[in-house]
Structure 1
Amino acid sequence: MTLKIYIWAGLFGLALLSFLSLFIGVIELSLADLWHDPAAFELLVISRFPRTAAALICGSSLAIAGAIMQMLVRNRFVDPMTTGTGPGAGLGILIVTIFFPAAPLIVKMVLASLTALGASLGFLAIVQRLPPTQPLLVPLVGLVYGGIIGAGVTFVAYQADLIQYISVWMNGEFSGVIQGRYELLWIAAAVALVTYFAADQFAIVGLGRTASINLGLNYTQVMLIGLVAISIVAALTVTTVGMIPFVGLVVPNIVSRLVGDHLRNTLPLIALLGALLTLASDIVGRVLRHPFEIPVGTVFGVIGTLLFLWLLSQKPRHE
């Protein structure tokens, strides 16, 4: 199958799931209700559409952020949520909650972005000291590094009696998304869109520092732009819906196996597949224990783990 066929198939699947998402929930809603019941239309506008849009934006932007991080680190087994960036954003939220509890959401987002950027820079500094002949050390170190940050956040939250509060941010779920509480995610969508225009630069960075400089690229500047974009996406996602693991890990790898590694050409498909899997996980979480819900972070954690194990078991694509 060609790239265009995959994209058209993804668009069709995304449209179908989006339609289903608008009419699945605790309160029954149908197309007929929208015509004669103003309350049904209000439910659609206030709750169902924002939730669907949030799932689409989070899935696509996290998948793109994962693809960029894999290029910057030059490793296929990394993801912003499992290498310290996501826990770093949670640290920023915790700091704001303790010292500035009345701060608006935009302040939480800014500080979470800064702490996420600091965590990303720390991870990058550690990765550069690892032997390039041992690629599996990078994800292992990332898991340990992110675990240390997450453990620190949990410890401080426990001391401040905020453990239940911070646990909401550490496990992504869309049940609390309503009109007025998700709009900052459009910034993440804009950042993900902007990265498309720098895709070629990120691909060159993936060749390594020496090759990038020899090709005339400002290596440090492009690295910083990529890390800032990843940090903003992670911070906005964690601030709005919480951490959703494995999206940025498995989606770029699946797309790479299907259509190759040309970043500019594959980014639209990466965004589509990330949105598709995230929305599908959200729908599954709503249906499995109806009328109760399973957080999308839990559902995608299971699906992402199975997909990741499948990817590890596959032979190299061009063997």
Structure 2
Amino acid sequence: MPNNIRTGVEINSQPQFYNHNKIWTKPFILAIIVVIILGVISLFTGVYDIRGQADGWDMFFITRVPRTAALMLTGAAMAMAGLVMQLITQNRLVEPTTTGTIEWAGLGLLTVYLLFPAPSLVLRMTGAILFSFIGTMIFFLFLRRVKLRSSLIVPIIGLMLGAVISAVSTFLGLLFQKTQSIESWFVGSFASVQIGRYEYLWLIVIVTILIFIFANRLTLAGLGEDVATSLGVNYSRLILFATGLISFAVGIVAAVIGNLPFLGLIVPNIVSMFRGDDLRSNLPWVCVIGMGTITFCDIISRTIIMPFELPVSLILGTLGSVVFIAILLRQRKLGG
């Protein structure tokens, strides 16, 4: 992103690099253990009596195992997307929800439904990924023409663009009577996840590997275009590559699960507060905490009004909103 995007942004929104390069530490191992415990709780949480029914263990492998695996993969994907976006924009308030990326993914899903009567999951994923990429690039290009005076302007612009795209999607859905086709996208939920309907989420592992391989270059990109270029990094190409990875992860999640707000905002900010912004050493932390956060929210969504189930996006959105406000207040306090 060019220099004018970073002009006037508060110091506290810039990446901070601490000497925390070790990954396998006692706190990290403890975090993994906590996530494993949450995963086990998720496996045995639900209305259906796994141990008391004849086909209980069949249902366990048909629904519970895929759901828990989907939670872990989705949590890692959205948290990573937020981490990369915050790094390359040098703004801690940026993530797919606050840049309009997720709304563009929804528009892509709707477009696929308009063009194909009964689209396959691959087609829906393709539409969501393509529109996520287009929307994210439009967001970046829009920022090129805006002289920022505050780090708060960036997410405000993204939220405004997202609201416009969401309005367009709603209008087209009502006009062509396709609202019911994408209704599940608006309420992100894991209730429908079962074997045969989540396997594409495993592609997120490839995204994770690629981000880890290019972590050092992405970290240099977070220092700014001039610094990255002087160190031999092709800044524009790297931004396109990072945008492609973000769009790929967000598009898959949007097609399979739906809208999951603020996860990419909560987790990277928590990690950055304690570990700075070294992408390579933070990535495992972000993945693990992302997994734990969404699994915890999903367990709450399944138990708070049993035998009914709330959409996990409702719990996640509530938690994310509180954290978002807390971060805004912290930014203001540090900036003052």
Q: TM-score, normalised by structure 2?
A: 0.89
Rounded Cα–Cα distance in structure 1 between residues aligned with 2:220 and 2:54: 53
Q: After superposition, give the CA deviation of every residue in 1:93-128 in whole Å (9 maximum; x if it has no partner).
A: 111111112332112111211111000000001122
1:193 CA drift (Å): 2.6
Q: Could you give the per-residue CA deviations for residues 192-222 of structure 1, whole angstroms, max 9, x where no partner exists?
A: 2321111111111111111111110011111
**One of 123, 129, 135 as aligned partner of 1:107:** 123
* Equivalent runs, 1:31-50 vs 2, <5 Å: 39-50=55-66
Q: CA deviation at 1:79?
A: 0.8
Distance 1:249 1:170 in 2: 19
Aligned to 2:325: 309
Cα distance in 2 for residues equivalent to 1:204 and 1:156: 41
Q: Kindly indicate whether the alpha-carbon contact (under 8 Å) linking 1:130 and 1:137 is maintained by their aligned counterparts in 2.
A: no
Instruction: Tell me what 1:236 maps to.
Output: 252
Partner SS state of residue 179, structure 1: coil
Give the equivalent residue in structure 1 for 2:212.
Answer: 196
Question: Is this contact kept in 1: 2:50–2:57, CA < 8 A?
Answer: no
Contact map agreement 1:22 1:52 (CA 8 A) in 2: yes
Say whether the 8 Å CA contact 2:71–2:294 is kept in structure 1.
Answer: yes
Q: Which residue of structure 1 aligns with residue 105 of structure 2?
A: 89
In structure 1, what is the equivalent of residue 82 of structure 2?
66
2:46 to 25, 33, 46: 25
> Contact (CA 8 Å) 1:169, 1:243: kept in 2 or not?
yes
Pairwise CA distance, 1:314: 3.5
d(CA) in 1 for partners of 2:136, 2:325:
25
Cα distance between partner residues in 1 of 2:49 and 2:195: 19
1:67-106 residue CA offsets vs partner (Å, 9 max, x unmatched): 0011122211011133121111111111111111233211
Counterpart of 1:272? 288
Match among 218, 234, 253 for residue 234 of structure 2: 218
Secondary structure of 1:184's counterpart equals helix
TM-score (norm. length: structure 1): 0.94
1:119 aligns with 2:135: yes
> Identity over the aligned pairs, expressed in percent?
34
* Deviation string, structure 1 residues 261-307 (Cα, Å, up to 9, x no partner): 21110110011111100010000000001011110111000011112
Verify the 8 A CA contact 1:192 1:229 in the aligned structure 2. no
1:8 aligns with 2:29: yes
Does the 8 Å CA contact 1:130/1:138 hold for their aligned counterparts?
no
Give the aligned residue type for 1:303: L
Moved more, 49-58 or 188-197: 188-197
Unaligned runs of 5+ in 1: none
Give the conservation status (yes or no) of the 8 Å contact 2:216–2:279: yes
Deviation of residue 38 (structure 1)?
A: 5.7
Letter of the 2:330 partner, please give it: Q
Residue 161 in 1 paired to residue 182 in 2?
no
CA distance in 1, matches of 2:157, 2:27: 34
Amino acid at match of 2:184: V
Please give the residue correspondences for 1:288-299 in structure 2 after superposition, counting only pairs within 5 Å: 288-299=304-315
Note the aligned Cα RMSD (angstroms): 2.0
Query: How far did 1:167 drift?
Result: 2.6
Q: Counterparts of 1:51 and 1:263 in 2: how far apart (Å)?
A: 28
Query: Does the aligned pair in 2 maintain the 1:65–1:192 contact within 8 Å?
Result: no
Instruction: Look up the equivalent residue of 1:103 and give its one-letter code.
Output: P
